[in-house]
Amino acid sequence: MTGTTITAQPGTPFIEVTREFAAPKPAVFRAHTEPDLVKQWLGPRDLEMEILEFDARSGGSYRYVHRADRGEFRFRGVFHSVEEDSRIIQTFEFEGAPGEVCLETMTLTETDGGTRVQVRSVFPSVEARDAMVASGMESGIVEGYEQLDELLAKEA
Amino acid sequence: MTGTTITAQPGTPFIEVTREFAAPKPAVFRAHTEPDLVKQWLGPRDLEMEILEFDARSGGSYRYVHRADRGEFRFRGVFHSVEEDSRIIQTFEFEGAPGEVCLETMTLTETDGGTRVQVRSVFPSVEARDAMVASGMESGIVEGYEQLDELLAKEA
């Protein structure tokens, strides 16, 4: 398994994340769109995820809470478009920083051994992007994807 | 009436538009959220707007067609958040460039003479932003806001 690549070029409002998974596209897509699966992997290991709403269709909304000893973090957004097994475009807002909404495009590509996930996030400003990078987002993404490896192996 | 200011700094994926209107915030807000009003002003003068869906609430969707002699242009998006008389955050996609979704934040501020509208758009790349600027977007915005002046004067 290759690791997670996170790129955040200085002076830009973008973050790009690339990760490969040893599972076919439909399995990876389901893990991103079915709430019972999403809650098993998204975010760092030390928290519990409660999903309040998760309607992964074009025009649908989502809202969830991450709970850990260090606090409670609420997130929400809308799905601009959900294209089966290929692409999801959605907004993302941490309710602790209201109004700092980012737009995420996730693309799935078939590879030799499975599926490549690429997520491109665009923030409303370079400062908002820098604040997200400084928040410790990286470990959450890396640990989340490790949990997704485990979930995909279990489901296979 | 001051004119429309459009700023697109080279090498960034942002466009900022600022315009003042001689009307109170609730009137300007209604003109952006009630489809019967929106269709009277949005876009350049030489086209007809047909609204297929316009549900200006947090989590709602919109879809419309602009028709002119030179062609037909379809747009769609979702409303991430709609805060009465103050702020709207929404996605925006020209269906002729599918997947190039931008995120727009519109903020209303009370001024001495009325209301200042600020719209900040963030594109998925600098190239997508440059393509939008090159598309002749400027005249559509300027003419649209002139039509909004006329509508607000009529409604007052």
How much is the pLDDT for A68? 87
A·B CB contacts under 8 A: 67
Does residue B156 contact residue B27 with C-beta atoms inside 8 Å? yes
pLDDT at residue A113 above 90? no
* Under-70 pLDDT residues of chain B: 1-2
User: What three-state secondary structure class fits A139?
Assistant: helix
pLDDT at residue A1 above 70? no
Chain A interface test: which of B103, B107, B125, B127 (most A C-beta within 10 Å): B103
How much is the pLDDT for B109? 98
A93 to chain B: which residues are within 8 Å by CB? 80-81
Nearest one of B61, B89, B121 to A91, comparing CA atoms = B89
Q: Mean pLDDT throughout A14-41?
A: 97
How much is the pLDDT for B8? 95
How much is the pLDDT for B126? 95
- Percent of chain A at pLDDT exceeding 90: 83
In this structure, what token pair is assigned to residue A70? 């260090």
Q: At CB < 8 Å, which residues of chain A contact B?
A: 12-14, 58-59, 61, 77-81, 87, 89, 91, 93, 99, 101-103, 105, 120, 122-125
B124 to chain A: which residues are within 8 Å by CB? 103, 105, 120, 122
Among the partner-chain residues B78, B93, B103, the one whose CB lies closest to the CB of A122 is B103
How much is the pLDDT for A137? 86
In this structure, what token pair is assigned to residue B42? 């949005």
For each of the domains in chain B, give its residue range(s) and CATH number, in order of start: 24-117+126-139 (3.30.530.20)
In this structure, what token pair is assigned to residue B121? 């758009």
Distance from CA of B89 to the nearest CA of A (A): 8
How much is the pLDDT for B2? 62
Distance from CA of B37 to the nearest CA of A (A): 23
CB count, 10 Å around CB of A1? Answer: 12
For the beta sheet containing A14-21, the strands, ordered from the edge strand earlier in sequence to the opposite edge, are: A5-7, A14-21, A115-122, A102-110, A87-94, A71-83, A61-68, A48-54
ipTM above 0.95, yes or no: no
What's the rounded Cα separation, in Å, for the pair B24 and B21? 8
Q: Mean pLDDT throughout A77-103?
A: 96
What's the rounded Cα separation, in Å, for the pair B88 and B93? 16
| Residue B105 exposed, middle or buried by CB count within 10 Å (0-12, 13-18, 19+) | buried
- Nearest residue on chain A to B82, judged by CA atoms? A99
Distance from CA of B150 to the nearest CA of A (A): 31
Distance from CA of A52 to the nearest CA of B (A): 14
Does residue B101 contact residue B128 with C-beta atoms inside 8 Å? no
Give the least confident one: A22-31, A90-99, A130-139, B37-46.
A130-139
In Å, how far from its chain's centre is CA B56? 13
pLDDT at residue A2 above 70? no
A79 to chain B: which residues are within 8 Å by CB? 78
Chain A interface test: which of B7, B14, B80 (most A C-beta within 10 Å): B80
- Nearest residue on chain A to B86, judged by CA atoms? A99
Distance from CA of A100 to the nearest CA of B (A): 10
CB count, 10 Å around CB of B124? Answer: 21
CB count, 10 Å around CB of A124? Answer: 21
